[in-house]
Amino acid sequence: MAENTLIIDDLHVNVAGREILKGLDLEVKQGEIHALLGPNGSGKSTLAYTIAGHPKYEVTQGRILWQGEDVLAMSPDERAKRGLFLAFQYPTAIPGVQMVNFLRLAVKNVFGDVPAVEFRRRVRATMAELKMDDSFATRYLNEGFSGGEKKRAEILQMAMLRPKLAILDETDSGLDIDAIKVVSDGINRLKNPEMGILIVTHYNRFLNSIRPDKVHILVDGQIARSGGQELAEELDRVGYDALLKTA
């Protein structure tokens, strides 16, 4: 199955010996936008990290398939090369490594070598779209970046790596209204019928600018409810407790 579909089947994940995901099922078809909402501690970030392959997250049961293949058998870099991308909630700083040098190597690993001139042109154009100053290119990766700068830098990486499935982990958190607009505009520009998106978020407001096809509510390690955009709107109105009681 070459189609860019992600299938998660009965996924159980432990973190430091404690079970966080307890039998999660989810399917994101090619080109679909899914939103995953849920209260703190429900396992949203755990799912994001597990799909990307963080070694701290131990899968005890279930499977993840991407393009029909077993993701759990792949190293994190192999997953990136297959088109999976995670925009981090808290991207870590790599002192002394210039953004542009890092991007160059990442792009080279995922797509093969790109001519330097073409590469630079793309970086500059994308930074301009994200309202990032040129000096960003030579700053050290995430070092001393403000919250908003970090999130933009994540979207810049996403734009350069053009993933087939992007997972956005709380990309809206800690951003003011203007920054959210810049980031969501950036995502909307990247959106295409070949690329799936899984948005992990606390709040509905991000979903007003990026309209998801499907909305899921994650509670205690399982999907408690699924629906369309109206589910997110209802959640916004009544809150988790009331919403889940009506389930």
Return residues touching another protein (CB under 8 A).
Answer: 52-56, 75-77, 79-81, 85-86, 88, 91-92, 94-97, 102, 105-106, 109-110, 140-141, 157, 161
Starting at the edge strand that comes first in sequence, how are the strands of the sheet with 196-201 ordered? 84-87, 165-169, 196-201, 33-37, 214-219, 222-227
Whichever of 38 and 91 has its CB closer to another protein, that residue is 91
Q: State in angstroms the smallest separation of the CB of 78 from another protein.
A: 9
232, 200 contact by CB (below 8 A)? no
Distances in Å between the alpha carbon of 105 and those of 33, 101, 154, 159, 165? 29, 6, 16, 15, 20
User: What's the closest the beta carbon of residue 84 comes to another protein, in angstroms?
Assistant: 8
Minimum distance of another protein from residue 155's CB (angstroms) = 13
CB 4 within 8 A of CB 164: yes
Reference 196, options 66, 32, 86; nearest CA is 32
Instruction: Please say which residue, 145 or 215, places its beta carbon nearer to another protein.
Output: 145
Nearest-angstrom CA–CA distance, 165 and 32: 9
Compute the least distance from the CB of residue 83 to another protein, in Å.
10
Q: Say how many Å lie between the first and final Cα of the chain, rounded.
A: 35
Pick from 198, 199, 201, 155: which is nearest to 174 by CA? 201
CA dist., res. 106 & res. 224, Å (int): 37
Closest CB 108 distance from another protein, rounded Å: 8
Rounded to whole angstroms, the Cα distance separating 193 from 31 reads: 4
Q: Which is nearer to another protein, 63 or 81 (CB)?
A: 81
Q: How far is the CB of 119 from another protein (least distance, A)?
A: 15
Strand pairing partners for 165? 84, 196
CB of 56 to another protein, least distance (A): 7
Tell me the two tokens of residue 112: 């093969």
Identity of the residue, 96 or 193, whose beta carbon is nearer to another protein in the bound complex:
96
Residue 152 carries which side chain, given as an amino acid letter?
Answer: R
**Closer residue to another protein, CB minimum distance, 55 or 193:** 55
